[in-house]
Amino acid sequence: MPSPGVWQASLRTARRRLGVTAPVSLLFLAIQVSALPYEYKFINDNCPGAEWNIMCRGCCEYDQIRCKCPSQGEVVGYAVPCCRNEDNECDPCIFHPGCSIFENCKRCHNGTWGVRDDFFIKGKYCTECRRGWSGGDCMKCGGVINLPRGHITLEGYPNNAHCEWTIQVSPDFNIELRFLMLSLEFDYSCRYDYVEVRDGDSVDSRVIGRFCGNERPAPIRSSGSSLHILFVSDGYKSFDGFFATFEESSACSSSPCLHDGTCLLDTTDSYRCACLGGYTGRHCENMVMCRSPLVPVHGAREGDDLRFGAHVTFRCDPGFTLKGPRKVTCQLDGTWSAPSPQCVPEEKQCAEPGKPSNGNYLLVYGPGDVLIAVQYFCNSRYTLSGNPQQTCQPNGTWSGTQPKCVKVPEKIQCAEPGRLYNGYYILTSGSGDAPDTVKFFCNNSYALSGSAQRTCQPDGTWSGKQPQCVKACREPKVSDLVRQKVLPPATQSRTTPVHRLYYSSSALGKLYNVVSPTKPPPAPVELPPGYHHLHSQLQYECASPFYQHTGSARRTCLKTGKWSGRHVTCLPVCGKLPAFNEKKLSETRWPWHVAIYRRTDEASKIKPESEGAWQLICSGALVNQRSVVVAAHCVTDLGKVHVLKAADIKVVVGKHYRNDAKEPKSQQHLRVSAILVHPNYDPLVLDSDMAMLKLLDKAQINERVLPICLPSAQGGEITALQGYVMGWPILPEPGTRDNETTRVGTMELADVVLCESQYAQNGLLVSITDNMFCAREHPQGFSNICPSETGGIAVLPSSSSGLEGQGDFRVVWRLLGLVSWGYDQACSPSLYTVYTRAANFKDWIERNMK
């Protein structure tokens, strides 16, 4: 026999396996065991003894110990723990009472007591369970049901039962639950035995109702596609249970639409009825009917059906005829398809009229094949005289008189117009009664004097007078900047040596019979607009003093039909300074001085057109209305040849104050269409530091906006000793922002060797290329600018005469250079600044200005 500790340990192990925590009362029946059933053998290999095997006989109980044969390790049955008595003897095993202890078993399964019997191995104690229960002990219930329809049954129930069901149907449907039988313990609050239904799929869903007793609830409908059903019983009384059916449903499951209407679901789980013709209402319950139509006087109505689609016919008494529809139909809106007709006395019919001579007619019939009108027409070469139509009157006569067909006189043809010298005409024949027309045209260098078109009249003559082609010149087109004055035609007097010979001697004049004109030339004929007579003169001048014209100032219409001279155009005057006083250099407005702005990254992301979105970066020079010259380093990334986007650069001309809010009317903000950088630009040594901005908008020329002239020649040495430099500070000084104007200074040009030597003395080894020149502040001149800080442009007057006055238009200002680079330290008048030499790039600038 095993020791008590072994069996107790086995019992605790068995209880942990089965999840049994409460004490279990076992009923032991004394039986006498004489032999081992089913040929059990005594195996004593590594076992406490043969008695151990005897205790592993095939008996069962709630608290069981699984026994294995020591040799094979196979399950041979179950045993209950041995209970030792006072004599330290084990009580024998007892037989399990079977399924009699399971209340929901309908038929018991006591097993065969075999080694592998389901009763012991699988715990199948019941052969058949009551409806709603499952499992070997018939204690399982509930579950998830995914069916469009079905039922839930609980036939009887034990104490302390707990069952949950979840019903799920298609997402677009609801669930309708009906209780066909309900037998639970009754309580007003349903606290003991109850069925609880929730609108959802869990115990946390909204409670629809809790039911108990015998009274069946009304059908239950879910708002969604799932229901949760919970059954709970207490430990006191048990009843018959319940039986419920469920089915997926919608608002249209049992169609609420009458008269064969179609039920249609909408998105709100509601419905609407699509009614057949003739029915209205939410459920198609209303039938469309029409009111009884009026019966015509002297007539009758046939048909009493007044529903939708029904027909009613009318008829008249003898001697009367129906005026209106013979049959009407009841429509969907409850009205008849037409008003009721009238019965009017029968009218007399008109006889067919005779055909007109040289013509024919067309008879028009009305309802009932009654002749109501006649239409007349004539044969070819005849025209209708009179009313072309007659109508039949109630008295049986035709209205008016019958028309007649009158012969049309033959069309008189016009003879071809006379010859048009130095031109031609096109004759067009008129269709039908339309007259013939002729259009006149002149050859090149001739203008048509007179009407351009004549029409053939009924008397066979052409309208108007014959035009003529006159030698003339077409007026040349000029721009709005050019003023044109037309001078009357005048034969210019030209005197040759032969004329002098004849007119100086009266004898020779008589000998050669020189005749002078005795009467004036004939008056010139009228010309169409835009043409001028021979020897007419056009005089030109520019509309603004800031423009100068190119071409001939006066042109004459020659005998060839062409204008003498060259075409005239007005171009802006370059290098003119309206007001200049060297003693008041800081007040000078430089009309070619241009401010270059760049769009800042941060401001452009927030608000591209805001006040702070543009940063003043450089100065440039206006060379024509669409071109600005600027240093290349201003429009490229620092130290690189990568060109900035044209959309991120803008130009302001007519600017004097640094603050754009001052004098805004004189400023012109211009967009840039392209940025051209010189192909030899070196961003490291700043050689060929030259670029051009092509403007998308045209600069308007005035006294504050004028271009600068380019150097007079390509390349060459700079012979001037001084010039002027102008620019704006990149960063405004504190306290001077609003009134700060253009910085300007007189500069002194220096030799390249001195410039390089000075840079070397300051620790900078630089090379000045042929495309550069050096300059510094002139010791005797005015200056309030530091070019290396502001940047800017350098200009030079072509002559020193007139500089002391208030501006002299005879002086031509030319572009000398652009500020390129200098010292990175405080500004000093003695330090040199390096400029880009503009003369070396004249050809490149002129090519790209076009």
Strands 382-385 and 547-550: unpaired
Q: Which amino acid is at 623?
A: V
Three-state DSSP at 752 gives helix
Q: Write the burial class of residue 390 (CB in 10 Å: 0-12 exposed, 13-18 middle, 19+ buried).
A: buried
Residue 193 annotated as binding site? yes
Q: What are the angstrom distances between the C-alpha of 402 and each of 387, 395, 399?
A: 7, 17, 9
| φ, ψ for residue 842, nearest 5 deg | -60, -50
Strands (E) located in 48-183: 65-68, 75-79, 105-108, 126-129, 143-146, 149-155, 162-168, 174-183
Closest to 572 in 3D by CA, of 709, 694, 685, 669: 709
Q: Which two tokens stand for residue 350?
A: 């008109």
Q: Which two tokens stand for residue 762?
A: 């300051």
Token look-up 């677009």 returns 172
What is the spatial distance between Cα 128 and Cα 130, in angstroms, rounded to a whole number?
7
Sign of CA dihedral 542, 546, 551, 552: positive
Q: DSSP string covering 516-555, please?
A: ---SPPPPPPP--TTEEETT-EEEEEESSTTEEEES-SEE
Residue 185 annotated as binding site? yes
What is the spatial distance between Cα 749 and Cα 718, in angstroms, rounded to a whole number?
9
How does 771-802 read in b/e, with b if 16+ C-beta sit within 10 Å? bbbbbbbbeeebbebbbbbbbbbbbbbeeeee
For the chain, what is the total number of helices (H) and then of strands (E)?
9, 50
Confirm if 70 and 46 have CB atoms less than 8 A apart. Answer: yes
Token look-up 């639409």 returns 257
How does 523-552 read in b/e, with b if 16+ C-beta sit within 10 Å? ebeebeeebbbbbbbbebebeeebbebeeb
Closest to 631 in 3D by CA, of 826, 828, 794, 786: 794
Q: DSSP string covering 723-736, please?
A: EEEEE--SSPPTT-
Q: 394-398 contacts: CB < 8 A, separation 24 or more?
A: 394/347, 394/348, 395/348, 396/347, 396/348, 396/349, 396/350, 396/351, 397/350, 398/350, 398/353, 398/374
Q: Write the burial class of residue 401 (CB in 10 Å: 0-12 exposed, 13-18 middle, 19+ buried).
A: exposed
What is the spatial distance between Cα 617 and Cα 596, in angstroms, rounded to a whole number?
6
Sign of CA dihedral 800, 804, 807, 808: negative
What is the spatial distance between Cα 549 and Cα 540, in angstroms, rounded to a whole number?
8
Strands 162-168 and 143-146: parallel
Q: Which two tokens stand for residue 629?
A: 């010259």
Which residues carry a binding-site annotation for Ca(2+)? 185, 193, 225
Which residues carry a binding-site annotation? 185, 193, 225
